[in-house]
Amino acid sequence: MPELDTSVLDQLFLKARTHNGWLDRPVSDETIHRLYDVMRMGPTSANTTPVRIVFVKSQEAKERLKPALNPSNVDKTMAAPVTAIVAYDPNFYAHLPRLFPGRDLKSAFSSMPEAARNQVAVLNAALQGGYLIIAARALGLDCGPMAGFDRTKVDAAFLAELSWTSLFLVNLGYGDATQVHPRNSRLDFAEAARIE
């Protein structure tokens, strides 16, 4: 497989930035559907795909989200065209007969729900949340992921009837480049990795 063109790497990683300011430009439902269709193709262990996403877009839904946000996250989240609640389904294994038909993992995971949640659902849903960010960038959207919110309030307002549990939020839209701060440093290879 050939290496991606530098412009693609720039769009996905090298020049992509976390955005806190947003242009007054809506994100269409079609774009949101396309975003999901792209991100769902990323790999997860045994194709468990435990991520669940609520795309908060309407003003009414934004108002329900607002009380759960840390004060420093209110303005940017209310200004973002869409906020994705990235969550996981602790009962993800109910779908495994269709998603991973080669083995009876549904029985295995249902017999140990706490381990299934902690070792499979949370890890793989977080991984899929990363795919959401990369897919959004690939489709020309900007992202502002964050953890500054009250999970209990978000879960009660959006996820209770679904039995899903929130992990983090991602503001989505078209970022205002005038509100981007200089990029902070990253760890060098020698500080964070090694080859053995």
What percentage of the chain's residues is helix, strand, coil (to nearest 5)? 50, 15, 30
- The C-alpha atoms of residue 103 and residue 108 are separated, in whole angstroms, by 10
Residue 129 lies in a domain: yes
Average pLDDT over residues 170-181: 95
In a domain, residue 194? The reply is no
Are 38 and 117 within 8 A, CB to CB?
Answer: no
Query: Long-range pairs for 30-33 at CB < 8 Å and ≥24 separation?
Result: 31/139, 31/141, 32/57, 32/82
| Structure confidence at residue 1 (pLDDT) | 85
Tell me whether residue 189 is in a domain.
no
Is residue 149, in this structure, part of any structural domain at all?
yes
CATH code for the domain in which residue 58 is found:
3.40.109.10
Residues 39-98 pLDDT 10s: 999 999 999 999 999 999 999 999 999 999 999 999 999 999 999 999 999 999 999 999
Inside any domain, residue 158: yes
First to last CA, the chain: 25
Domain that holds residue 144: 19-175
Other Cβ atoms less than 10 A from the Cβ of 193: the count is 8
7 belongs to a structural domain: no
Residue 2 has what pLDDT?
Answer: 87
Structure tokens at 137: 């960038």
Number of domains in the chain: 1
**Residue 1: inside a domain, yes or no?**
no
pTM of the model: 0.96
Question: Is residue 3 in some structural domain?
Answer: no
* pLDDT for 26: 98
